[in-house]
Amino acid sequence: MLSPIKKRMAKGEKSLWTNCACGKLTLRDEFEKNLFECPSCAKTHLISCKQRFNIFFDDSEYTTLEYGVPPEDPINFSDPKGKYSDRLKESRKKVGQEEAMLFATGWLNAMPVTVGSMDFSFFGASVSPSVGECFLSGVQHSINNKQPLILFVTSGGMRMHTGILSLMQMTRMTLACSELKKNKIPFIVVAGGPCLGGTTASMASLADIIISESKDFLWGFSGKRIIEQNLREKLADEVQTSQWVLEHGGLDKIVPRKELRSEIYNILSILLKVKEKEINNTSDVSSIDGSLQKTSKAV
Cβ(150)–Cβ(186) below 8 Å: no
d(CA 54, CA 66): 18
Does 25 interact with Zn ion (rule: CB under 5 A)?
A: no
Does 40 interact with Zn ion (rule: CB under 5 A)?
A: yes
Lay out the site mask for Zn ion across 214-253 (x = CB under 5 A, - = otherwise).
Answer: ----------------------------------------
- Least distance (Å) from Zn ion to the CB of residue 7? 27
Closer Cβ to Zn ion, 19 or 109, answer by number: 19
- Least distance (Å) from Zn ion to the CB of residue 27? 14
Closer Cβ to Zn ion, 31 or 67, answer by number: 31
Helix/strand/coil percentages in the chain, nearest 5: 40, 20, 40
Closer Cβ to Zn ion, 38 or 176, answer by number: 38
Closer Cβ to Zn ion, 44 or 240, answer by number: 44
d(CA 193, CA 153): 7
Of 189, 21, 212, 46, the C-alpha closest to 115 is: 189
CB neighbourhood size of 42 (10 A): 12
Distances (CA, A) of 54 to 48, 50, 115, 195, 247: 10, 6, 12, 22, 31
Single out the segment in contact with Zn ion by CB under 5 A; choices: 43-51, 82-90, 95-103, 170-178.
43-51
> What is the length of the chain?
299
Count of residues binding Zn ion (CB under 5 A)? 6
95-125 in b/e form (b: 16+ CB < 10 A) is: bebbbbbbbbbbebeeeebbbbbbbbebbbb
d(CA 45, CA 78): 31
Of positions 15, 19, 25, 41, contacts Zn ion by CB under 5 A: 41
- Least distance (Å) from Zn ion to the CB of residue 135? 32
Of positions 38, 151, 267, 292, contacts Zn ion by CB under 5 A: 38
Does 19 interact with Zn ion (rule: CB under 5 A)?
A: no
- Least distance (Å) from Zn ion to the CB of residue 44? 10
Closer Cβ to Zn ion, 44 or 105, answer by number: 44
Closer Cβ to Zn ion, 43 or 182, answer by number: 43
Does 43 interact with Zn ion (rule: CB under 5 A)?
A: yes
Cβ(148)–Cβ(114) below 8 Å: yes
Closer Cβ to Zn ion, 30 or 66, answer by number: 30
- Least distance (Å) from Zn ion to the CB of residue 31? 10
Mention every residue, 6+ apart, whose C-beta is less than 8 A from residue 85: 72, 73
Instruction: Please give the torsion angle defined by the CA atoms of residues 245, 250, 253 and 258, in that order, rounded to the nearest 10 degrees.
Output: -70
Does 22 interact with Zn ion (rule: CB under 5 A)?
A: yes
- Least distance (Å) from Zn ion to the CB of residue 226? 30
- Least distance (Å) from Zn ion to the CB of residue 43? 5
Does 20 interact with Zn ion (rule: CB under 5 A)?
A: yes
Mention every residue, 6+ apart, whose C-beta is less than 8 A from residue 49: 97, 101, 102, 117, 118, 119
Does 146 interact with Zn ion (rule: CB under 5 A)?
A: no
Q: How does strand 253-254 pair with strand 209-212?
A: parallel
Residues of this chain that bind Zn ion (CB under 5 A)? 20, 22, 38, 40-41, 43
